[in-house]
Amino acid sequence: MNILASTSFIGTTGFANHAQSFFTALDNILPIKVRNSTIGDSWKGYSLTSHDKESYITDQMKNMLVLQTLKSNNGRIDRPLYHHNPNFTPDIDIVLAEHNNHYFYNDYKGYKIAYNVWETDKYDSTFFNQLKTFNELWVPSEWQKQISIDQGYPEDKVFVIPEGVGNEFTPGNNPKGKFKILIAGRWEHRKGTKEAIKAFLDAFPNNKDVELILCVDNWVNQDNLDSTENRLKHFNLEDPRIKIKSFLTKEKYIKLLQECHVFLSSSKAEGWNLPLIEAIACGTPSIYSKCTGQLEYTKGKGLGVNVLEKEPAPGFPGNYYKVDTDHLVKQLQEVYQNYDFWKDFYLKWSTEIREKYSWENAAKIAYNRLQQIKKENQPALNVHFVKEPYVKLIGGIGEYKVEFINKKTNQILFTTNLRPYHWAKTYHSYFIDWKIIVKDLDGNIVNQHDYNASGKRVYVSLGSKSLGDTLAWFPVVEEFRKKHNCTLIVSTFHNDWFEKNYPQLEFVAPGTNVENIYAMYQIGWFYEGDSGKVDYFKHLVDFRTLPLQKTASNILGVEHEEIIPKVTFERGNRPIKEKYICFSPHASASAKYWHNIYGWQTVVDYLNDKGYKVVQISKEKYSSSFETTKLPGNKQIKNVIDATGLSMEDTVNYLSHCELYIGVSSGLAWLSWSVHTPVVMVSGFSSEWTEFTTNVKRVINKEVCNSCFNNYRLDAGDWNWCPAHKDTPRHFECTRKISPESVIERIVDYLV
């Protein structure tokens, strides 16, 4: 997951120490990027590498630092640092800053964590309300957690992420020389600096073997006293045994902690008290006040000093604690008198402190919480199967792996990585029993969706206007509805043929915008653009190798079974009293025609001789000279009854009463089959299994070229399309070589 820390990273303040130590340790576990608000002593103006001269800067820190916040005439702006990536989008923002810092008031898009260290028992109300806008609050101690809850922060949104102590703080050699007591930190009222110095003077009024070392200079001169010397004089605390150490380097500071006999802290309130835990880590006997955040690691141990009643915190909301100075004096005398005991005690305690409160452990606690956040914020899924399977992650933290799996084969057909509110889809538009699995990057399944259309709205669109395609494909739609128990909406170019007999389907016109649907499928023959290659994202197999009706079965994932559609045409009165047979020589492509020049006339004459009326039906008019040019030899077929150019209802009526229909591979053959009239089909254009196989007899000549429809892409714009032999003597030999005698042979069985 992408994490951005907004903090005061640069500098040597307590907050900078916290930020540097904590976030670099966390960066060792998962990558952290830092947005920094402070500058250090080496600052010479903004550049990409502004902080290179800071003495403590490391390559790791440079890799972490990506933004520098600066003031400008237009307010604060963020400028890039080091390896800034403009495409970086944080999943989690962590703001670690002091009370009321401007970073807490910025707008963060992802999951946001406020990490604050506070000393009094109450936050400023405006700031506290701002903290409540964050997803959760991190604090370093159970004490601060409780005061946050007491003020109204939701208990389940406050988490203790302790501070730590650096690995460099370790015991040194036993102190030598005079008994040295160290006070380190800022000189300020909250730190109880004045009270601690006075306690030293009261505990050892005339003991020249004891020294007090002060490392308490302030970076900011808030009291106008300028220096520690001036403050001692101002408060009448001067004593020759008091030694001042000003602005030590970190190395000299650690050495001082190791060389002093005692560390003294009498704070009225602490968020954590870094100097105290650093002293304990060095094995230095340390006196502390038993209150606030430092109890996280000191409670019940060591040289604690009692506190009395609360007192108002000057300039801040809430209260500090008043330290029992009499007890403080006694604890100073106790450690002096029993130093060997307390030194041994603190050396043992230092091992525990360094193990339990290392920055690495603090980072692990934070990492575990971040992982828990990810678990608690697993993405919901917006899934549909409208044309193609689609999934969008709603919420979540970080990046996830998404797998589109065919449940039938257990094959992963597509995989990708997604971030929250991003989406993906495959281009497979035919039915697959999908399982969509979302995993975190550790491989754990965090969510999944199994295809289930039951009770949902599904839209099926038949893309062909042709009579045969519509009649072939439509009944499969109803089978899909029954299989999935769904609400099925269907569009065809001939809805009126089916509406009455399929009351459980919802019919809409082609092009209708159908809303609130779970899935959508389009039935048709689909190629890759203008090529002759089948689009296998829209078809499971090459549709040309299947029966026409199985095109729909394969796209809809329904087991293929030849089904006659229930058309809604009303059967009228018999149009001809005598026995009659219908035929049609016409079709949508010349390749479908029976190109034997004597074929149709021979068959018609034969039927007339047998006492049958022969009725020519088609939308192409018998009397049209143009339509006649499509026929072999450009000749009308003689001795037939003209029933061409009629309405669909009248044509169906002729078909439903006739003894037999004879035709080519065309829609009228499918229509005859749909009204249960026997069919004799003359076709070399398609293999004998291509159309329907029940209530039909096929006539094909396998000795010549045949079945181009099942091997090539039909060029509907080329009337004389013949992919293998166009403009050669073999042009249309597939039907030219079908004799009228072979057709009559198939007809005989139907004659009474």
* 616 inside domain: yes
* 304 inside domain: yes
Give the structural domain span for 423. Answer: 378-450
- Contacts for 535 with CB less than 8 Å, ≥ 6 apart: 526, 527, 528
Check if 226 is active-site.
no
- d(CA 747, CA 698) in angstroms, rounded, equals 10
CATH number for position 436? 2.60.40
* 573 inside domain: no
- d(CA 294, CA 424) in angstroms, rounded, equals 50
* pLDDT value, residue 1: 85
| 3-class DSSP assignment, residue 406 | strand
* 561 inside domain: no
CATH number for position 744? 3.40.50.2000
**Maximum mean pLDDT: which of 129-138, 372-381, 743-752:** 129-138
pLDDT band (50, 70, 90) for residue 218: confident
Residues 150 and 296 in one domain: no
Residues 127 and 34 in one domain: yes
Final residue of a structural domain among 294, 325, 357: 357
Query: Per-residue pLDDT averaged across 189-205, rounded?
Result: 96
- 83 pLDDT higher than 80: yes
Final residue of a structural domain among 523, 556, 589: 556
- d(CA 55, CA 460) in angstroms, rounded, equals 69
Residues 389 and 433 in one domain: yes
* 562 inside domain: no
Can you spell out the DSSP letters for 660-702? -EEE-SSHHHHHHHHTT--EEEE-SSS-TTSS--SSEEEE--T
This prediction's pTM: 0.77
- d(CA 429, CA 537) in angstroms, rounded, equals 6
- d(CA 171, CA 450) in angstroms, rounded, equals 60
Helical H segments across 557-694, by residue range: 599-609, 625-628, 648-657, 667-674
Residues 106 and 121 in one domain: yes
* 165 inside domain: no
* 572 inside domain: no
* pLDDT value, residue 441: 87
Residues 461 and 441 in one domain: no
If one counts the domains in the chain, the total is 5
Q: What is the pLDDT of residues 8-52, one digit of tens each?
A: 999 988 889 999 999 999 999 999 999 999 999 999 999 999 999
Final residue of a structural domain among 357, 390, 424: 357
Radius of gyration over every alpha carbon of the chain, rounded to an integer in angstroms: 45
* 370 inside domain: no
Residues 735 and 621 in one domain: yes
pLDDT band (50, 70, 90) for residue 513: very high
Residues 351 and 223 in one domain: yes
Residues 339 and 401 in one domain: no
395 Ramachandran zone, left/alpha/beta (phi>0; psi -120 to 50) = left
pLDDT above 90 covers a percentage of the chain that reads 92
Residues 137 and 267 in one domain: no
- Contacts for 463 with CB less than 8 Å, ≥ 6 apart: 522, 523, 524
The two tokens of residue 286 are 């340390």
* pLDDT value, residue 716: 86
Q: Rounded mean pLDDT of the chain?
A: 95
- 579 pLDDT higher than 90: yes
Residues 441 and 463 in one domain: no
CATH number for position 36? 3.40.50
- 220 pLDDT higher than 80: no
Beta strands across the sheet bearing 661-663: 641-642, 613-616, 580-584, 661-663, 679-682, 696-699
- d(CA 453, CA 392) in angstroms, rounded, equals 18
Residues 286 and 399 in one domain: no
Catalytic residue among 469, 535, 542, 605: 469
- 487 pLDDT higher than 90: yes
CB 323 within 8 A of CB 305: yes
Residues 653 and 720 in one domain: yes
Q: What is the pLDDT of residues 56-77, one digit of tens each?
A: 999 999 999 999 999 998 899 9
